[in-house]
Structure 1
Amino acid sequence: MTKTERTLSSKGIRPTQMRSKIYKYLKRKTYADSLNEMQKVFLKKSKSNKTANKTTFYRTMKLFEEKNIVHQIDDGTAVAKYALSDENISDLHMHFHCTVCGKTICLPDRISKQNLPDDYEINDVNLVLKGVCKNCSKK
């Protein structure tokens, strides 16, 4: 069993070929990607099987989100983006959106629950810092 298959299985997901491919793709990405951009990579222009591939793709992404393998990011561009979730740490973290290249990345620092008043519980966080990334600032 491969590392990808073990990771998916540990989350209660049967590691099919499409699921494994999507997971590996997201693992290699250094920034969040929209469903539309991912579709371009995974969905072939085959007319005979286009609907099945599209359905499988969307179901896989929905399953990954439900099982906390990926998280959705609203970076203010009106297009939801997805990034792989950290396996060991909760997804309470900030993101950075480059206003030049349009890429959105997860920042490594986590949001502390210690500053929250007693009896308050965080369910979701959406903090996006906007500016120019290091690659765009060099240009």
Structure 2
Amino acid sequence: MTLMTTKTEKTLLSKGIRPTEMRLKIHKYLNRKTYAVSLNEMQKVFIAKSEKNKTANRTTFYRNLKTFEDKGLIHQINDGTGVAKFAISDKKAKGKYGTDLHMHFHCTVCGKTICLPDRISKQNLPDDYEINDVNLVLKGVCKNCSKK
């Protein structure tokens, strides 16, 4: 690690994640995306390049995604397509489901899934209930596809 810590390194460190080269690349990639990215999309970017360059392998890639998810840095979205998608979690989220309770929108035309900005209040849940999983997906046509 260099003497100057980058914003991405600080983000990983704040979640208790050691900022390796592959983790930095994965986080930067996901952070640039405006929509949730499928595992297949990420494999094309990271695994194909990694296997040619011999810098990382499939197992390392999957372990890093799992670490990010376990630490609440990213979340997995099941949008009903049968393909898991991943997106950066809210920076204020305190764990896997902490304060990052929000809905997603899946466009049935272009297939993109995005995180919606409004949060869902946990106040609607009775005190003696515990959240183990969250999957809230609205389906329809996004603004870009509706213009076409």
Instruction: Please say whether Structure 1 and Structure 2 have the same fold, judged by a TM-score greater than 0.5.
Output: yes
Query: Secondary structure of the equivalent of 1:44?
Result: helix
Code of the residue aligned with 1:114 in structure 2: it is Q
Gapped regions of structure 1 (runs ≥ 5)? none
State percent identity of aligned pairs.
Answer: 78
Partner of 1:118: 127
Q: Distance in 2 between matches of 1:47 and 1:7?
A: 29
Cα distance, 1:105 vs structure 2: 0.3
Partner of 1:8: 12
CA contact (8 A) 1:92 1:124 kept: no
Q: Distance in 1 between matches of 2:53 and 2:23?
A: 21
Query: Secondary structure of the equivalent of 1:8?
Result: helix
Partner of 1:62: 66
Code of the residue aligned with 1:83 in structure 2: it is A
Cα distance, 1:47 vs structure 2: 5.6
Q: Deviations over 1:49-71 (max 9, x none)?
A: 38x42121111101101111100
Structure 2 counterpart of 1:75, from 79, 94, 102: 79
Bigger mean CA deviation after superposition, 93-102 or 106-115: 106-115
- TM-score, normalization by structure 2: 0.87
**Following superposition of structure 1 onto structure 2, how do residues 1-139 of structure 1 map, counting pairs within 5 Å?**
1-44=5-48, 46=51, 49=54, 52-89=56-93, 90-139=99-148
- TM-score, normalization by structure 1: 0.92
Query: Secondary structure of the equivalent of 1:83?
Result: strand
Cα distance, 1:48 vs structure 2: 7.7
Q: Distance in 2 between matches of 1:79 and 1:23?
A: 20
Shift in CA distance, 48/31, structure 1 to aligned 2, threshold 3 Å? closer
